[in-house]
Amino acid sequence: MEACASSHYWAREIRALGHDTKMIPASYVKPYDARQKNDAADAAAICEAVTRPAVRSAPVKSLAQQAARVAHRTHELLSRHRVSLINAIRSHMAEFGVIAVAGPQHVGSLIKRISDPATLIP
């Protein structure tokens, strides 16, 4: 099967039924894909790709491995959003002439400075 968002789940379910599963990354299937985008064309491309000796398969992740990856990706997402939020606050305050040092360690002092609305009025 082609590796996609739910492929690890389905590979585990199919293995539970006693079948052997093999996941192929989408980048290896794409060269064999026909012009039409439908299930039959996708299945034909997967069958063609799996017969090639150079095409490697992706390992099926266990439930614990998937859960750990979800935790890591969620942390990465929250970290990026935190940086974006800090940068947005700094840039909005700069429009009022309140300049702050860059970095998450300085956001606390910036929040203290702007918590009094009188600091924003000239």
54 touches 27 (CB < 8 A)? no
- The tens digit of pLDDT for each residue in 37-68 reads 787 888 888 888 888 888 888 889 999 999 99
| Closest residue by Cα to residue 33 from 24, 21, 43 | 43
Domain residues of the chain, as ranges?
7-50, 63-119
Q: Count helices and strands (H / E) in the chain.
A: 5, 0
Note the residue count of the chain. Answer: 122
Enter the pTM of the model: 0.64
Residue 43 has a pLDDT of 83
- The tens digit of pLDDT for each residue in 65-120 reads 999 999 999 999 999 999 999 999 999 988 888 888 888 898 888 888 888 877 66
SS3 for 50?
helix
CA dihedral 23, 25, 29, 30 (to 10 degrees): 160
